[in-house]
Amino acid sequence: MVSDTCSDNQSRGMAYSPAWNMFLIFAGSLIAVAALKGIAVHQHLVPGGVFGLALLIHYAGVGISAGILFMLLNIPLAILGYLNISKRFILYSIWAMAVSTIAYEVMDLNFGIENPIYASIACGGIMGFGMGVVLRTLGSNGGMDIAAIILNRKYNIGIGKTYFVFNLLLFCASAAVINHDLVIGSILTVFVASVTIDYVLSMFSNRKMVMIISQEAQCIVDDIMTHLKQGATMLQGQGCYSRTPRPVIMTITNNVQLRRLEEIVFTKDPQAIFIVENTFAVLGSGFTKRKLY
């Protein structure tokens, strides 16, 4: 039993090794840049964030590549991040910036999507997937990721609010450089990317929290631990109408085990109450480890 636990800890620890983090950052950055170079540039979209700002400056006629501008804009942010977040976080983020800049400079892609709406959706989906992969590491994509974390730590400003305000100002400025149809397409791109990022971040750690109210609670818990090999917590509740004590089981499971858990519960007690709640993430022993920057 001890060896199984040690093995499980080692496999979970691999997700935090430098090599694995650098590989994910490399892969995610390439995917995101492919969307930018293969779709956004050809459609003159502004995909939000610091790279969006770099592209907007490039569209305005400045004779510097958007990839180089992206790196230049990130230098002060990287310094602030080094001073206010952590050395490890910034080193991983610098790796992401370097990969993105070099990939942008050497890639020559055109996905050939002509319809503006299709292009916005495809760009947002591909870019969001790549950015989500990077955000699953101990680093970031650089740019507004760094600024948002600093503002959150120092002034308790929500990370989402920082992105929203920055992109709002960016799109207002975009209206003076690109036509309004492209501004709307850019907003659609950022929206699709945000949804995709959330999906990527939750798809590997999404769990179901199940609450079970039953008079056969102990039998159900025994079966959960025996047949599903997962833990549970027994809570003490009380029926508000009857005023009688009612044991409540709380357990965390996944989509695969959910139906088996349901079968166990209603086989033991057809009168049980079975409540399923989606969770964004579960951190702790036996689940995802807490990510420290």
pLDDT in tens, 151-194: 888 888 877 788 889 999 999 999 999 999 999 999 999 999 98
Examine the pLDDT at 48 and tell me if it is beyond 70: yes
Examine the pLDDT at 99 and tell me if it is beyond 90: yes
Three-class HEC string of the chain: CHHHHHHHHHHHHHCCCHHHHHHHHHHHHHHHHHHHHHHHHHHCCCCCHHHHHHHHHHHCCCCCCHHHHHHHHHHHHHHHHHHHCCHHHHHHHHHHHHHHHHHHHHCCCCCCCCCHHHHHHHHHHHHHHHHHHHHCCCCCCCCHHHHHHHHHHHHCCCHHHHHHHHHHHHHHHHCCCCCHHHHHHHHHHHHHHHHHHHHHHHHCCCEEEEEEECCCHHHHHHHHHHHCCCCCEEEEEECCCCCCEEEEEEEEECHHHHHHHHHHHHHHCCCCEEEEEEECCCECCCCECCCCC
- Same domain for 47 and 158, yes or no, is yes
**Residue 220 falls inside a structural domain:** yes
Q: Minimal CA–CA distance to 58: which of 156, 177, 212? A: 177
- Same domain for 188 and 242, yes or no, is no
**Residue 135 falls inside a structural domain:** yes
**Residue 262 falls inside a structural domain:** yes
CA 1 and chain centroid, separation: 33
- Same domain for 61 and 151, yes or no, is yes
**Residue 265 falls inside a structural domain:** yes
- Same domain for 193 and 141, yes or no, is yes
pLDDT band (50, 70, 90) for residue 244: confident
- CB neighbours (10 Å) of residue 239? 10
- Same domain for 103 and 219, yes or no, is no
Q: Looking at 138, 169, 203, which one is the last position of a domain? A: 203
The stretch 13-40 carries a mean pLDDT of: 88
**Are residues 282 and 288 in contact, defined by beta-carbon separation less than 8 angstroms?**
yes
**Residue 39 falls inside a structural domain:** yes
pLDDT of residue 288: 61
Least confident of 62-71, 144-153, 204-213, 271-280: 204-213
- Same domain for 64 and 171, yes or no, is yes
- Tally the domains of the chain: 2
- Same domain for 142 and 68, yes or no, is yes
Q: Looking at 153, 182, 203, which one is the last position of a domain? A: 203
Average pLDDT, the chain: 86
- Same domain for 179 and 40, yes or no, is yes
Examine the pLDDT at 5 and tell me if it is beyond 50: no
pLDDT of residue 284: 65
**Residue 41 falls inside a structural domain:** yes
Return all residues near 15 (Cβ < 8 A) that are at least 6 apart. Answer: 289
Sheet order of strands, 207-213 included: 233-238, 245-253, 207-213, 273-279
- Same domain for 20 and 87, yes or no, is yes
- Same domain for 76 and 163, yes or no, is yes
- Same domain for 151 and 20, yes or no, is yes
The stretch 239-244 carries a mean pLDDT of: 85
Q: Which domain holds residue 94?
A: 2-203
Of all residues in the chain, the percent with pLDDT exceeding 90 is 58
